[in-house]
Amino acid sequence: MPRLGGKVAVITGGAGGIGAATGQLFCEEGARVVLVDRDAAAMAAACAAIRAAVPGAVLLDLVLDTAEEASAARIVAETTRAFGRLDVLVNNAGIRSYEPLAEAKAETWRRILEVNLLSHAFLSREALPALRATRGNIVNVASTHAVNPRAGMGQYDATKAAIVSLTKTLAFEEARHGVRVNAVCPGATLTPFHVRRFAAQGRTREALEAERLENCLLARWAQPREIAYPILWLASDEASYVTAAVLMADGGMKVL
C-alpha cells in the first residue's frame, strides 16, 4: 500500500523546488495532490514534469496568491469539490528578502509576513474543519534559520521562527480534534531560486553541487527531494504519534 494511498494533499509553493519535489513524491506514494502557486508558467511546467515522471498522477493545479486571505477559502473549497476530502496540508509558500534590519522597508516587511507567515495561518484556519473530519495533519516548512539566524536576512528568519511557534500552538490546540501539526526546517537546498540567483553571478549548478559548504556537517547542498522525504514521513501514518515536532533537515547546521 502506498504511504499516502487514498489521501488528498494540498501543497503551497508547489511550482518549484521543495514544493514540486514534495508534490511528485506524494503522487508516487498514492496521494491526490493539489499544487498551489501564483506563477502560472512555473506551475504548468511542474505539473507536466510530475505527470511525465508519475504515470497516472492525480493533480489539480491552482494559480493563486496564498498571501491573499481570500485564497485560503478558495483552495479548500476547490480541493473538497474535486476530491471530497482533505488529509494533508503542506504550507510551503515563501519568499526571501536580502536586507539588513537597519535598512528593512515597511513594504518588504508587509509582503514577507503576508507570504511566509499569514498565508500559513489563513490556510491552516480554513483547512481545519476538513482536516478534523479526516483526522489529518499539517506540515509547515520553516527553515534551519528559525533557530540559527544570520545577518542580512532578519525578516526571513523572523518569519520562519514564527512558523515554528505557530506550528506548536496549532498542535496544542488541535490535538483534541485529532489533527497533528509538525514542521520541517530545511537547510541549504538547491532549489531553482538558488540556481537562478547564482547563475547571475556566473556560477553553474554543477559548480554549486560540487561546492563544499562550511556551515553544516554534511558540507553540501540538499536536493529538494531530500527535504520532501521528511515532509512525506510527517504527513504519513508512520508519524501517527508525532505532533508539535520540529524536524531539522539541515545537514547538521553548525551553531556559530
Catalytic amino acids?
Answer: 156
Dihedral, CA of residue 201, residue 49, residue 156 and residue 118, to nearest 10: 150
Q: DSSP string covering 164-233, please?
A: HHHHHHHHHHHGGGT-EEEEEEE-SB--HHHHHHHHTTT--HHHHHH---SSBTT-SPBPHHHHHHHHHH
Q: How many CA atoms lie within 13 A of 100 on its CB side?
A: 2
Q: How many whole angstroms separate alpha carbon 41 and alpha carbon 15?
A: 9
* Of 251, 88, 125, nearest in space to 185 by CA: 251
